[in-house]
């Protein structure tokens, strides 16, 4: 029996309930549905990485790490970023290891955004951005990416920036649209922000998952933007260990100083054995540089299996997601479609409307191909059986 309380707390997020991922997860469990919804691999990570964590524990790395992260790991990250993107971050003052990319996002927003500020982000968007901003007493302003190619409407962005704009949140490769920013996009953003004090918070957790020969154009590839950016990335997404909850931030020392002030009171330090193992694992670049090819094979497999389905697939340039349109064979809402897929066909997906604060419905669902081959085949078979309505 649930404990009843006479207390009536004032909610800071009165319009926020259980996330769509939990809702879909519960419904999927009830119907034992094939999981093409969750952005988490259903296959194992490299056994060498598990062995590295075990070895770290056996060697006594079981107490608090340095508050900003295990020093060899911060040094390895600084070296990696300089090699790949050309920007050198000081390992002591400009690299922070966090207890997940989500914690990094929150620490950055809480440390740098103040009551009365405005923060611009682009929708469809990962569902945590706006609530994190609102919790700081700031205003979250969602701009819709352009229909079709999910590109930024630069004129709309320019018109939305005001003297109160403190931060712009970028996500590339983008979840859920799977589109990526180009070098020209970064030039345009840099020009727009020149002579302002606007901070860029760049969510780059899929930085190593790009397809068809594309290169990652993150903020560290552009010196002018790097000077005003906090970059967020994730070991979980890169190494198939989303449950380990370790991420990291990169930022100029002046920005990082404020972020660290929040981080120290949230988590103090991320899990030590995992950090030790990651520090060793990063010494072999092939452990992450082949990730795009790995997921491209999964993307291409799922796309080929869905050729005879009624769905129309949108191009996927990065991340481990693709969008599928059903507008040509059904007038259902995307939420209705997702529910029908679970209940009638036993396959779970995510409605794109869940990534819009106003519930915009473009008749699109998100599919995750971060799954083993058997799951992809089973999910595709189910989707190929879907009947028009």
Same domain flag for 94 and 163: yes
pLDDT digits (tens, 9 = 90+) for 179-235: 999 999 999 999 999 999 999 999 999 999 999 999 999 999 999 999 999 999 999
160 within a domain of the structure (yes/no): yes
Q: Are residues 121 and 148 in the same domain?
A: yes
Q: Kindly report the CA angle at 337 between 335 and 339, in degrees rounded to 5?
A: 70
Q: Are residues 158 and 296 in the same domain?
A: no
CA-to-CA distance for 307 and 292, rounded, in angstroms? 22
User: How confident is the model over 290-303, as pLDDT tens digits?
Assistant: 999 999 999 999 99
Residue 14 within a domain: no
Q: Is 235 helix (H, G, I), strand (E, B) or coil?
A: helix
Question: Is residue 10 situated within a structural domain?
Answer: no
The reported pLDDT for the residue numbered 1 is 62
Host domain of residue 275: 47-283
Q: Is residue 352 part of a domain?
A: yes
Q: Does a structural domain hold residue 389?
A: no
Place of tokens 């970028």: 170
User: The CATH number of the domain where 77 resides is what?
Assistant: 3.40.640.10
* Closest residue by Cα to residue 138 from 146, 130, 150, 147: 130
Q: What is the pLDDT of residue 16?
A: 81
Judge contact between 319 and 206, C-beta under 8 A: yes
Instruction: Give the total number of structural domains in the chain.
Output: 2
CATH code at position 305: 3.90.1150.10
Rg, Å, the chain Cα set? 21
Domain annotation covers residue 250: yes
Q: Is the dihedral of CA 296, 302, 305, 308 positive or negative?
A: negative
Looking at the structure, do residues 74 and 218 belong to the same domain, yes or no?
A: yes
For the stretch 18-45, pLDDT in tens is: 777 778 888 999 999 999 998 889 899 9
Same domain, 274 and 298: no
- 180 and 223 housed in the same domain: yes
| Residue 102 predicted with pLDDT over 90 | yes
Q: Are residues 57 and 190 in the same domain?
A: yes
pTM for the full model?
0.95
Residues 299 and 352 grouped into a single domain: yes
Q: Are residues 336 and 361 in the same domain?
A: yes
Does residue 351 share a domain with residue 270? no
């Amino acid at each position: 029996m649930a404990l009843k309380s006479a207390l009536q707390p004032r909610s800071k997020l009165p319009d926020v309930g259980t996330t769509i991922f939990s809702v879909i997860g519960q419904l999927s469990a009830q119907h034992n549905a094939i999981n093409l919804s969750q952005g988490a691999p259903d296959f194992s990570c490299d056994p060498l990485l598990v062995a590295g964590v075990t070895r770290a524990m056996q060697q006594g790395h079981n107490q608090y790490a340095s508050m900003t992260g295990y020093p060899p790991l911060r040094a390895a990250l600084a070296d990696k970023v300089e090699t790949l993107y050309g920007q050198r971050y000081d390992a002591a003052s400009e690299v922070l290891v966090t207890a997940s990319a989500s914690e990094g996002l929150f620490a950055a927003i809480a440390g740098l955004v103040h009551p009365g500020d405005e923060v611009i982000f682009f929708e469809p968007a990962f569902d945590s951005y706006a609530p994190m901003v609102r919790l700081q007493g700031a205003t979250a302003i969602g701009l819709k990416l352009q229909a079709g190619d999910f590109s930024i409407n630069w004129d709309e962005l320019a018109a939305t920036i005001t003297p109160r704009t403190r931060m712009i949140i970028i996500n590339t490769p983008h979840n859920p649209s799977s589109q990526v920013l180009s070098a020209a996009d970064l030039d345009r953003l840099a020009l727009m922000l020149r002579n302002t004090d606007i901070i860029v918070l760049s969510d780059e957790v899929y930085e190593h998952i790009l397809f068809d020969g594309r290169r990652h154009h993150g903020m560290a590839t552009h010196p002018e933007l790097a000077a005003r950016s906090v970059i967020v990335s994730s070991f979980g997404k890169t190494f198939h260990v989303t449950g380990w909850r370790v991420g990291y931030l990169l930022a100029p020392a002046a920005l990082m100083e404020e972020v660290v002030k929040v981080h120290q009171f949230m988590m103090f330090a991320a899990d030590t054995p995992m950090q030790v193992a990651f520090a060793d694992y990063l010494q072999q670049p092939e452990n992450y540089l082949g990730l795009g090819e790995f997921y491209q094979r999964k993307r291409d497999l799922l796309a080929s299996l869905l050729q005879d389905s009624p769905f129309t697939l949108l191009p996927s340039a990065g991340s481990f997601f693709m969008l599928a349109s059903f507008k040509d064979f059904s007038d259902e809402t995307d939420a209705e479609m997702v529910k029908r897929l679970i209940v009638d066909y036993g396959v779970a997906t995510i409605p794109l409307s869940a990534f819009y604060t106003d519930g915009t419905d473009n008749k699109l669902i998100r599919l995750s191909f971060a799954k083993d081959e058997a799951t992809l085949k089973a999910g595709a078979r189910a989707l190929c059986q879907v009947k028009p309505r």
